[in-house]
Amino acid sequence: MGPVECIIFFIPIFVIGKQYSLMPLNLSTNRTARMKQTGYVMNANPRTIEVRGIGGCGAAPYMKIISGSFDHCASQCVAEQDCIKFQRNPADSKCYLSDASSGDRSPVPAGVGTWQCGFIRNPTVRTIETRGIGGCGAAPYMKIISGSFDHCASQCVATQDCIKFQRNPADSKCYLSDVSSGVRFPEPSGVGTWECGFIKLSIGKYSRTIETKGKGGCGASPYMKIMSGNFDHCASQCLLMQDCIKFQRNPADSKCYLSDLSSGVQSPEPSGGGTWECGFVKSDPHDRPPFPELPCYDDKYRCSDPQPQSEQLKHQQLLHYFPEIQSFSHKNWACTKCCSGRYSHDKDDDSQMYCGLYKNIMECWSDGTRCGLGTCGFCCTGRSQHWWSIGMTACGYEPCFGSGRRCAAGTSCKRCCNGSEWKTSKFSFVCK
C-alpha cells in the first residue's frame, strides 16, 4: 500500500467579529477518493455563534455553567459538540450552556433585560453526488481543468460558487459550472461516456433539498432576495442561503423571489394557478432557520386584538418551524411580540391582554415567587426556571449552590457554583 496523503484544514470559528481556531481536521485523500459512490465530503464551514436580539435563552437543566466574557463563552459553546446555545449574565459574567435536553423559553431570546444570548449556527457541508451517466452543464463555464473525477470533484467542492461539473474521460477535461452557466435537459444527459457530479448541500448533519408541491407561486413581499435565472439556479441559491425557506419564479421574465420567515405568505401555497413556479426547502425538522426579527409592540398595546389575515398566515408559517409557539392563537399571537417580552391580562376582563406589566392590572412577582403554566408571565424580570431549592418553577434564576450543599447527580447538582463530587462521609453528592 502506498503512502497516505493527508490534507490538514484548520477550521476557523467566527464569533462577533473575532476568530477562534479548533483542533485541525484531517481528511485522507485516499479515503475520500473511495467515497465516489456516496459523495465527497471535501470541506465544511465552521460552527458559528450568532445573536438574534436582546435577552436570555434556555433554562435548566444546563449542560455546563462557566464564567467569562461573551467571546470566551462563545468559543466554549462552539467547542462543545452538544452545545446549541448559551446565555450570559453581564452582572456576574456567568454563562449557562444548553444542549438539546435543556429547558427553553418563549420567545427566544427573551427580548428584555441585559442578559446576552448566543445560538449555534450549524456548518454547511458541500458534497458531490452522481445521478446517472452523461454530461451536465453548458457554456459559459466558470472554470475548465484537467484531472481525474476525484480531483475535479474536490475542486468543485472547494470552489464556493461551483454547483456541478462534467468530465470527458477521453481527454480528462472537466468543465465546472456556476449559476450563470448553461443547462441541458435532462441532467445528466443519460447518454455517452461523459461523467457528471452535482453539489449536494447539507446543513450540519441534515440535508436541505428543494421540493415542489404543485403549480402556482408562493411567498410575498418583503423578499430576502430577488434574482434572475432558471429554476435550478434559483433553487441552488435558496439552498446556499440558510435563511431561505422557499422561492417563486416567474417564467415570463425568469425572475425569482426568495423568501425567509419574515416574508409574506399566500393562501394557499402554492397558489394553484397561473404559470409561476414554486420551490420549498425541505429539511430535517431539527434544522430550523433562525427565528425572524419581528416588529414589536410597546407596553399598553392591546395584543389580544384580532390580527390581520397576513399576520395570521405568517403565524401559520412560523408554526411549521417553531411548534413551541402553538399555545398562542391567531388572536393573541401579537402578545409574543411585545417589546418588553411580557404581557398581562386585564384585571376586569381576562380575555383582553396588554403588553407589559402594570400595578393597575396585576402586581408583578419578584424572583423566587412560585409560578406555573400561564402565570410565570407575571414575573417582574420576565424570566423563570425550575428552582431545585423550592421544587417547582419560580420567577427569576435560582442562585447557584455553594460548597458543601447536598445535591442529586444529573439534576440539582447542575446548580452547583463549582461543580459537584461524591462524598462518602455524607453518602451523597455535594457541591464543591
Q: What is the pLDDT of residues 365-404, one digit of tens each?
A: 778 888 876 677 777 766 788 898 888 888 888 888 888 8
Question: What pLDDT, in 10s, does the model give residues 58-77?
Answer: 888 899 999 999 988 988 88
| Helix ranges, 97-217 (H) | 149-158
Assess whether pLDDT exceeds 70 at residue 333.
Answer: no
Selection from 307, 314, 341, 196 nearest residue 260 by Cα = 314
At residue 363 the predicted structure's pLDDT band, cuts being 50, 70 and 90, is low
Check: CB of residue 306 under 8 Å from CB of residue 330. Answer: yes
Assess whether pLDDT exceeds 70 at residue 201.
Answer: no
Assess whether pLDDT exceeds 70 at residue 30.
Answer: no
Domain 6-34+48-121 classified CATH 3.40.50? no
Handedness of CA 376, 380, 382, 385 (dihedral sign): negative
Instruction: Return the CATH fold of 208-282.
Output: Hepatocyte Growth Factor (3.50.4)
Check: CB of residue 336 under 8 Å from CB of residue 107. Answer: yes
In angstroms, the CA 250 to CA 258 distance is 12
Assess whether pLDDT exceeds 80 at residue 430.
Answer: yes
pLDDT (mean) for 121-126? 65
Which residues are paired to 26 by β-bridges? 8
Which three cell numbers, joined as nine digits, stand for 84?
Answer: 446549541
In angstroms, the CA 60 to CA 391 distance is 13
pLDDT (mean) for 184-202? 82
Higher local confidence (pLDDT), 44 or 80? 80
Provide the residue ranges of all domains of the chain, joining segments of one domain with +: 6-34+48-121, 125-206, 208-282, 296-362, 384-431
Instruction: Say if 125-206 and 208-282 have the same CATH topology.
Output: yes
At residue 218 the predicted structure's pLDDT band, cuts being 50, 70 and 90, is very high
- pLDDT for the residue 141: 93
Distances (CA, A) of 86 to 113, 149, 155, 386: 16, 43, 36, 17
- With cell 476525484, the residue in question is 150
- pLDDT for the residue 325: 58
pLDDT (mean) for 95-110? 79
Mean pLDDT taken over the chain: 75
Global pTM value: 0.37
In angstroms, the CA 35 to CA 41 distance is 8
pLDDT (mean) for 263-267? 87
Q: Which CATH superfamily is domain 125-206 in?
A: Hepatocyte Growth Factor (3.50.4.10)
- pLDDT for the residue 88: 92
